[in-house]
Chains A and B, each alone.
Chain A
Amino acid sequence: MKDNGSRSKAPGASTPAVTTGDSQPAASPRVPKPLVRIRGLTYRRGSLVVFEDLDLDIQRGAVTAVMGPSGTGKTTLLKLITGQLRPDAGSIEVDGLNIQGLDKPQLFKLRRRMGMLFQSNALLTDLSVFDNVAYPLREHTDLSPSMLRKVVLLKLEAVGLRGARDLMPSALSGGMARRAALARAIALDPMMILYDEPFTGQDPISMGVLIALIRHLNDAAGLTSIVVSHDVRETASIADYLYVISQGRIIAQGSPAEVEADDSEWVRQFMGGLPDGPVHFHYPGPPLAQDLLRRSAA
């Protein structure tokens, strides 16, 4: 893998890591306009506040990672960016378009330029790998069958699954399914790919393959990538810019080295994977001894 230093022109790399409270995004006049610009985002699920007044930028051409513990709303963030969910307040702009202002045809037009890798892969289970990758092409292009076949085979080749094209999704391993879904996500040559937890449940080899793929796709095709994950080391190794979110706010951001060097207790616990710290391992409850000794009411 490349070292992070060679990409020090990454967005906002000149800004020091910002910690709790101050979530000012790293936008300076000289930096080109970000591809995704989120301002004042608030999103609630019933009484649960998932995001509160969140500001976040995704720069063009970079791999931006959003990290945070399970349940902080990483998937929710991707769904907000792609217009699958609507924010309660704030604005989300993608390539200069305000997502909330778009009607369905406009939104669908924008989505053709975004590929999303779902946490669950979301492959169509009654279609083979080939037909899954061909699906968006058949929907949105007029390629001749022979041309379509070539494009699909090239996409499958890029993820190393050309030989598995006739398998059904149920016959794929977790790692293969992830790569098949990735081939489908890049079928239409999008401007941006959103990866939801690409590394969960992958063995070290396919993890390495995926890391290389994400970086390679991003640099070779000039894409913009958003990687959402709680796998700290893997994510930090490919990201140009990192956001760490917890409880609806950004608690740290910057290049991987900057976030690594952040000395706030919370960030150290998360990045170092320490079992206890500001985030407790135990769900709140009475002391163990008291619980064990109490006669059960039942």
Chain B
Amino acid sequence: MLVDSIAALGRGVLDSLTRLGRGHLLLADILRGSGEIFRHPRLLGEQIVNIGVLSLLIVGVSGLFVGMVLALQGYYVLNQFGAEESLGVMVAASLVRELGPVVTALLVAGRAGSALTAEIGLMKATEQLSGLEMMAVDPVRRVLTPRFYGGVLAMPMLAAIFSAVGILGGYFVGVGLLGVDDGAFWSQMQAKIDFAEDVVNGVIKSLAFGIVVTWIALFQGYDSVPTSIGVSRSTTRSVVHAALVVLGLDFVLTALMFGD
């Protein structure tokens, strides 16, 4: 009984470790195929549009609401110190440094990442990937690499849209609804938000999230058990793993960037 459960535990750990290993091998394979991007730039363009457009609406709408809520909550705190002029800074800093990259990554994982996993998993289950191999076409280079770079490049753009729409949402609520001074809202934001410190770090974060979210999505599809249940499990796993990794990685990156 006890031996059984220890054996099961060990098997589980070994399984996870080999899967982790396969994931890294796949990433190496995808990166080795990077040249493909230059040979077929259209494939990359298609994937940026595909992944970006898939997530655009949900990212925009979420950005608007998150910005509006930030303004409401921020006003409540700042008002107690008579500092409501700083509302613009607070909204913009929270969005650009933190919420923009993180929430966008979570949304993209749920919207585009799950779609990628299902697409690749179904291609595997219907032997389309083997078919490509038999036509002497490397499916990793032809199918996975463009999707990977598409996801990595689309993520910062989506995060930028999220933050921009969020700041507008904050503006509507702060200035329009709560009566914060229009000029102060923008001028304080302009004065206090630092390009290198805030914006660039935000972009680095979302690039990193783009890498892990797309990588996890592609790996889960490529490694899925080629059955209906297998693909559906991989799709779920793709979203769950991506969300956990994004949140964990965000803590690490935040500590490295802003934690002094």
Q: What would 10 A/B residue contacts be, using CB atoms closer than 8 Å?
A: A111-B133, A115-B134, A116-B134, A118-B134, A122-B127, A122-B130, A122-B134, A136-B135, A136-B137, A139-B135
CB of B126 within 8 A of CB of A84, answer no
CB distance from B29 to the nearest CB of A (A): 10
CB of B134 within 8 A of CB of A124, answer no
- A123 contacts chain B at the CB level, 8 A cutoff: yes
In whole angstroms, how far apart are the Cα atoms of A123 and B130 in the complex?
Answer: 10
- A104 contacts chain B at the CB level, 8 A cutoff: yes
- A33 contacts chain B at the CB level, 8 A cutoff: no
CB of B131 within 8 A of CB of A112, answer no
Q: What are the residues of chain A within 8 A of B57 when measuring CB–CB?
A: none
CB of A139 within 8 A of CB of B133, answer no
- A109 contacts chain B at the CB level, 8 A cutoff: yes
Q: What are the residues of chain B within 8 A of A264 when measuring CB–CB?
A: none
Q: What are the residues of chain A within 8 A of B131 when measuring CB–CB?
A: 118, 122-124
The 4 A-B pairs with the shortest beta carbon distances in the complex, nearest first, are A122-B131, A108-B136, A122-B127, A111-B136
In whole angstroms, how far apart are the Cα atoms of A109 and B136 in the complex?
Answer: 7
Q: A111-B134, A124-B128, A125-B128 are known contacts; what are 20 more A-B pairs with Cβ within 8 Å?
A: A82-B134, A84-B134, A104-B138, A108-B136, A108-B138, A111-B133, A111-B136, A112-B136, A114-B134, A116-B134, A120-B126, A120-B127, A122-B127, A122-B131, A123-B131, A124-B131, A125-B126, A136-B136, A139-B135, A140-B136
Q: What are the residues of chain A within 8 A of B133 when measuring CB–CB?
A: 84, 111
CB distance from A134 to the nearest CB of B (A): 11
CB distance from B49 to the nearest CB of A (A): 15
Query: Per-residue 0/1 for A145-174: is the Cβ within 8 Å of any B Cβ (1 yes, 0 no)?
Result: 000000000000000000000000000000
The residues of A with any CB-CB pair to B shorter than 8 Å are: 82, 84, 104, 108-109, 111-112, 114-116, 118-120, 122-125, 135-136, 139-140, 184
Name B131's closest neighbour in chain A (CB-CB): A122
Q: Per a CB cutoff under 8 Å, which of A84, A115, A119, A122 touches B128? A: A122
Q: What are the residues of chain A within 8 A of B136 when measuring CB–CB?
A: 108-109, 111-112, 136, 139-140
In whole angstroms, how far apart are the Cα atoms of A125 and B120 in the complex?
Answer: 12
How many residues of B are in contact with the other chain, CB < 8 A? 12
Name B135's closest neighbour in chain A (CB-CB): A136
Q: What are the residues of chain B within 8 A of A84 when measuring CB–CB?
A: 130, 133-134
In whole angstroms, how far apart are the Cα atoms of A220 and B130 in the complex?
Answer: 28
Restricting to B170-207, which residues have a CB under 8 Å from any CB of A? none
Restricting to B108-163, which residues have a CB under 8 Å from any CB of A? 126-128, 130-138
CB distance from B121 to the nearest CB of A (A): 13
Most chain A beta-carbon contacts within 10 A, residue among B126, B132, B133, B136: B136
Q: What are the residues of chain A within 8 A of B130 when measuring CB–CB?
A: 84, 118, 122
CB distance from A123 to the nearest CB of B (A): 7
Q: What are the residues of chain A within 8 A of B138 when measuring CB–CB?
A: 104, 108
In whole angstroms, how far apart are the Cα atoms of A118 and B131 in the complex?
Answer: 8
CB distance from B99 to the nearest CB of A (A): 35
Q: What are the residues of chain B within 8 A of A116 when measuring CB–CB?
A: 134
CB distance from B35 to the nearest CB of A (A): 14
Q: What are the residues of chain A within 8 A of B127 when measuring CB–CB?
A: 118-120, 122
Q: What are the residues of chain B within 8 A of A184 when measuring CB–CB?
A: 135
In whole angstroms, how far apart are the Cα atoms of A109 and B137 in the complex?
Answer: 10
CB distance from B222 to the nearest CB of A (A): 15
In whole angstroms, how far apart are the Cα atoms of A82 and B135 in the complex?
Answer: 11
CB of A135 within 8 A of CB of B126, answer no
In whole angstroms, how far apart are the Cα atoms of A125 and B127 in the complex?
Answer: 11
CB distance from A172 to the nearest CB of B (A): 14
Most chain B beta-carbon contacts within 10 A, residue among A118, A122, A184: A122
In whole angstroms, how far apart are the Cα atoms of A155 and B76 in the complex?
Answer: 72
CB of A139 within 8 A of CB of B126, answer no
Name A132's closest neighbour in chain B (CB-CB): B131
Name A194's closest neighbour in chain B (CB-CB): B134
Q: What are the residues of chain B within 8 A of A140 when measuring CB–CB?
A: 136
In whole angstroms, how far apart are the Cα atoms of A293 and B133 in the complex?
Answer: 53
CB of B126 within 8 A of CB of A111, answer no
Q: What are the residues of chain A within 8 A of B128 when measuring CB–CB?
A: 122-125
CB of B134 within 8 A of CB of A135, answer no
Q: What are the residues of chain A within 8 A of B126 when measuring CB–CB?
A: 120, 122, 125
Q: What are the residues of chain B within 8 A of A104 when measuring CB–CB?
A: 138
CB distance from B126 to the nearest CB of A (A): 6
In whole angstroms, how far apart are the Cα atoms of A139 and B138 in the complex?
Answer: 11
Name A196's closest neighbour in chain B (CB-CB): B127
In whole angstroms, how far apart are the Cα atoms of A31 and B156 in the complex?
Answer: 65
Q: What are the residues of chain B within 8 A of A112 when measuring CB–CB?
A: 135-136
